[in-house]
C-alpha cells in the first residue's frame, strides 16, 4: 500500500520538521528552518506521567495498545507536556506477535510472557502468519494521532527480529538469552525460519504505521547486547534488514537502536538506516568514529542522571551535545527509556535546555 493521502509528507506545504531534517543529516540552522537540536525520549509515553497512570487504571497493557483511542491519547501525552520534537507510537514489542495469534500476555513485575515458548523446529513451523487485516487498530491509532500532532512528527515503533525471537524462545524476558543463543547455533535452519517470521511480522507492523502517517521509523533491539559481533553480523543483522525492506520505498528516515550494542554499531548501521541510537555506555564522539560518516546519531543521556541534581544533569547534557557534534547530525535522547520514577518536570527542563543550545 502507498502512503495514506492524509500522510503529512504528501501535503503541498510540507516542510520537514527539525527531527526529520536531523535524521537526514542536516544540522540546525536558520536556513534549514530549524535552529535547535531536536529531542525526544524513549518511553516518554508511560509510567512516568501521572496522566498515563490515571488513564491505564483497570486496563490491560496489550488491550490498551490495541485500543486506537487510548493508544493515540497516550502517544500524545508527552508531546503536550514536554514539548518534545516527536511522538513515539505507543505500543509494545510483542504486539505484532499477539496480532499474529500467538498467546502472549504482560505479567506485572515481569513483562511479556508466552503461553507456549518456541524452542523446536516444529514450534517455529507452527507459528501463524500475520493477517494484514489484524493491523487495522494500528493504522487507526496512527491516523488519530497524526491528525492531532500538527507539525510534530510521529515515529513508528517496532521491535527487531532478534528481540522478538528472544521473547518467543525464552518464554519471557531474559538477561542473557541463553536458550535463544543456544537455538541459534544448534539448529540454524529453525533459527533462520524463526527470524524470518519475526522479520516479516515486524516489517508489516512498521509498514502499517508509516503508511498511516508516521514520518520516521525506529527499530528497537532491546536484547542485541547479548550477542557477539560475529553472531550479530551473520545471524541477526540480515533479518533486521529484512524487517525494514517493506518500508524502504516509503521515503521516511529509519533509525536503529539497541541496548549494550557499542561493539555492534558499525554492523547496525549496515542494515540500511539513516540514524543509529547509542546507549549511555559509549560517548557519542567515539560512537561517531565507530559508525563512520554519513549517519546521524541519537542519544545518549544517562537515564540514571535524571535523578541527579540539575547542575550535574545539565553538565552531562552539555557534554552529550558537545560530543554529538562529531556526527553528521544529532538527535538528543536518553541512552535507554525513561525510568518509571522520573519526575516529569525534569524531562520538560531537558527539552527546554536542549532547545536553548543550538
Residues assigned a catalytic role: 43, 47, 56, 92, 167
CB of 224 closer than 8 Å to CB of 181 = no
What SS3 state is found at 219?
strand
**What pairs with residue 331 in β-bridges?**
298
Match 500500500 to its residue by C-alpha cell: 1
The closest alpha carbon to 173, from 253, 259, 67, 238, belongs to 259
Torsion angle in degrees (nearest 10) through CA of 312, 316, 322, 326: 170
H or E element that contains 138 = helix 136-149
Alpha-carbon gap, residue 227 to 249, rounded angstroms? 30
The Cα 240–Cα 196 span in angstroms is 9
Give the β-pairing of 87-88 and 154-159: parallel
Element (H, E) at 4: none
Amino acid at each position: 500500500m502507498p502512503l495514506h493521502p492524509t500522510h503529512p509528507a504528501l501535503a503541498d506545504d510540507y516542510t520537514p520538521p527539525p527531527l526529520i531534517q536531523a535524521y537526514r543529516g542536516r544540522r540546525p540552522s536558520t536556513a534549514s528552518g530549524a535552529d535547535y537540536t531536536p529531542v525526544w525520549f524513549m518511553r516518554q509515553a508511560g509510567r512516568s506521567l501521572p496522566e498515563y497512570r490515571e488513564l491505564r487504571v483497570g486496563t490491560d497493557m496489550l488491550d490498551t495498545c490495541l485500543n486506537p483511542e487510548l493508544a493515540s491519547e497516550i502517544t500524545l501525552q508527552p508531546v503536550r507536556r514536554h514539548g518534545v520534537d516527536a511522538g513515539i507510537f505507543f505500543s509494545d514489542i510483542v504486539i505484532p506477535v499477539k496480532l499474529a495469534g500467538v498467546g502472549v500476555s504482560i505479567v506485572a513485575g515481569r513483562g511479556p510472557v508466552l503461553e507456549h515458548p518456541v524452542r523446536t523446529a516444529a514450534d517455529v513451523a507452527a507459528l501463524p502468519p500475520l493477517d494484514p487485516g489484524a493491523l487495522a487498530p494500528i493504522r487507526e491509532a496512527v491516523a488519530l494521532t497524526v491528525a492531532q500532532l500538527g507539525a510534530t512528527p510521529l515515529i513508528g515503533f517496532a521491535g527487531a527480529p532478534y528481540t522478538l525471537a528472544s521473547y518467543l524462545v525464552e518464554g519471557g524476558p531474559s538477561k542473557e538469552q541463553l536458550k535463544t543463543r543456544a537455538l541459534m547455533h544448534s539448529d540454524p535452519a529453525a533459527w533462520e525460519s524463526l527470524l524470518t517470521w519475526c522479520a516479516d511480522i515486524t516489517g508489516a507492523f512498521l509498514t502499517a504505521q508509516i503508511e498511516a502517517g508516521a514520518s520516521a521509523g525506529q527499530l528497537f533491539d532491546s536484547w542485541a547486547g547479548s550477542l557477539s559481533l560475529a553472531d550479530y553480523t551473520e545471524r541477526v543483522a540480515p533479518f533486521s534488514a529484512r524487517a525494514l525492506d517493506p518500508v524502504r520505498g516509503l521515503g521516511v528516515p529509519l533509525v536503529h537502536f539497541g541496548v549494550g550494542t557499542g561493539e555492534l554499531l558499525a554492523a547496525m548501521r549496515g542494515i540500511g538506516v539513516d540514524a543509529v541510537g547509542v546507549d549511555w555506555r559509549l560517548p557519542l564522539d567515539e560512537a561517531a568514529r565507530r559508525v563512520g560518516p554519513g549517519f546521524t546519531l541519537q542519544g545518549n543521556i544517562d537515564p540514571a542522571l535524571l535523578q541527579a541534581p540539575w547542575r550535574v544533569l545539565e553538565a552531562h547534557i552539555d557534554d552529550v551535545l558537545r560530543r554529538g557534534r562529531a556526527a553528521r547530525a544529532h538527535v538528543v535522547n536518553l541512552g535507554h527509556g525513561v525510568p518509571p520514577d522520573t519526575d516529569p518536570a525534569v524531562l520538560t527542563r531537558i527539552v527546554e535546555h536542549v532547545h536553548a543550545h543550538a
